[in-house]
Amino acid sequence: MVTFTGRQARLEYEDARPNELCDVAQGFFQYPRDARAAASYLLNESEAGRDTYFGVHLYRTNESRRRTNTMPVVSALWLDEDGGCYPDHLPEPTATVWSSADRRHRYWQLAQQVSVEWTCSMNRRIAEAAGGDTGKAGLSSVLRPPGTLNYKRHPQIDPVTLELHDVAPHHPAVFDEALPASLEPEPEPDPTPTRRHYSGRDIGIEEFLVAAGVEIRNPEPDDLGQKFSIVCPWAHQHTGGNWTGTFAGKRHDGGMWFHCHHAHCTGRGWREFRRAVLPFYNTFKVSLPGYTGNMEVKVSRG
């Protein structure tokens, strides 16, 4: 668990920018073992006149707050309204944190763990629907913890308060059904900086999916190429058999890709998907010394 604290720079320097922090400090606490220690630390820092924040998701190690160090799954969604307003007809939040008298952060507890990729995508859709801060929808975001003080408008000091709502954890599919698609292009699934340019045989992604018997739900907008929402071949492993959050596509450079946002499918890419939906074999003949006939051998290329 990461913590982040700092002092309003304008209290020290006249030419400081609004909400610029100085004397910043970042810390890591083992979660859940040291959760109380982290809370005590943030409360003490707040009482000492410092703005305090916590990371909205966990990290693998205490080495950095980079995206590559994040845990692969989370069990909540979050929103920084930032002057916007979350619509009442959408799924009710589990908790509301008032960072000031007119600013709110919203959280939704999920009934199952989901991948961080799906979470960021859904957070962005929520932020767009609410007119909130899409920049806080991604990984490495930090938000104010309840029980602390907000010194951003000093000498006005705003208490950060918590409001819990009587609502059961939400199934992830509820958000897919209730929220419109994002106005921003989806990030490339499982990006790999060293990915080589695809030079294989040109096969249409829709042609492949149909031939493999994959159920196509909807075509999806994608600036990187073609993209389809599909039913995951491992949907029976998803909690509740949820079929949403699974995509396959073809980039403009010809490379095929597969990505499923569910925790059960973490680490499964195009190779695993291809093997699951269209196992195929090449048959060829070999000659063995002392053997007068031809031996037929099947070798899996999946």
SS (H, E, C) the chain: CEEEEEEEHHHCCCCCCCCCEEEEEEEECCCCCCHHHHHHHHHHHHHCCCEEEEECCCECCCCCCCHHHECCEEEEEEEECCCCCCCCCCCCCCEEEEEECCEEEEEEEEEEEEEHHHHHHHHHHHHHHHCCCHHHHCCCCEECCCCCEECCCCCCCEECEEEECCCCCECHHHHHHHCCCCCCCCCCCCCCCCCCCCCCCCCCHHHHHHHCCCCEEEECCCCCEEEEEECCCCHHHCHHHCCCCEEEEEECCCCEEEEECEHHHCCCCHHHHHHHHCCCEEEEEECCCCCCCCEEEEEECC
Mean pLDDT of 22-48: 95
In a domain, 180, yes or no: no
109 part of a folded domain: yes
Q: 292 in a domain, yes or no?
A: no
Q: What is the pLDDT of residue 87?
A: 96
pLDDT score recorded for residue 300: 42
* Confidence bin at 240 (pLDDT 50/70/90): low
pLDDT score of 191: 44
Report pLDDT for 302.
40
State the pLDDT at residue 183.
66
pTM for the predicted model, two decimal places? 0.65
163 falls within a domain: yes
Does residue 201 have a pLDDT over 60?
no
Considering the domain boundaries, does residue 196 fall inside one?
Answer: no
Please tell me whether residues 83 and 23 are part of one structural domain.
Answer: yes
Enter the tokens of residue 34. Answer: 């040291």
Split into its structural domains, the chain has a count of 2
Please report the pLDDT score of residue 261 as a whole number: 76
> Is the pLDDT score of 175 beyond 80?
yes
pLDDT given at position 297: 45
User: Do residue 216 and residue 144 come from a single domain?
Assistant: no
Section 274-298 average pLDDT: 55
**Chain-wide mean pLDDT for the chain?**
84
Q: For residue 164, how many other CB atoms are within 10 A of its CB?
A: 11
- 81 lies in the same domain as 150: yes
Are 126 and 171 in a shared domain?
yes
Which tops the pLDDT comparison, 206 or 129? 129
> Would you say residue 288 has pLDDT above 80?
no
For residue 296, the model assigns a pLDDT of 47
Contacts of 178 (CB under 8 A, 6+ apart): 90, 91
Whether the predicted pLDDT of 82 surpasses 90? yes
Q: What is the mean pLDDT of residues 117-133?
A: 94
Shared-domain flag, residues 29 and 99 = yes
Range of the domain at 265: 205-281
Beta bridge pairs of residue 6: 51
Kindly report the number of other CB atoms within 10 A of residue 183's CB atom: 10
Residue 124's pLDDT band (cuts 50, 70, 90): very high
First vs last Cα of the chain: how many Å apart? 40
Gyration radius of the chain's alpha carbons: 24
The better pLDDT of the pair 281, 39 is held by: 39
Residue given tokens 């079929």 in the structure block: 243
pLDDT for residue 242 is more than 80: no
What's residue 269's pLDDT?
86
Residue 301 clears pLDDT 50, i.e. is over it: no
Query: 199-203, 225-229, 269-273: which range is least confident on average?
Result: 199-203
Task: Report, as an integer, the average pLDDT of 88-113.
Answer: 96
CA-wise closest residue to 279 among 301, 298, 259: 301
Which of 175, 190, 223 is the C-terminal boundary of a domain?
175
The confidence score (pLDDT) of residue 268 equals 83
Does residue 288 form part of some domain?
Answer: no
Specify which of 23-32, 89-98, 229-238 reaches the highest per-range mean pLDDT.
89-98
What's the longest Cα–Cα distance across the chain? Answer: 95
> What average pLDDT does this structure show over 183-194?
49
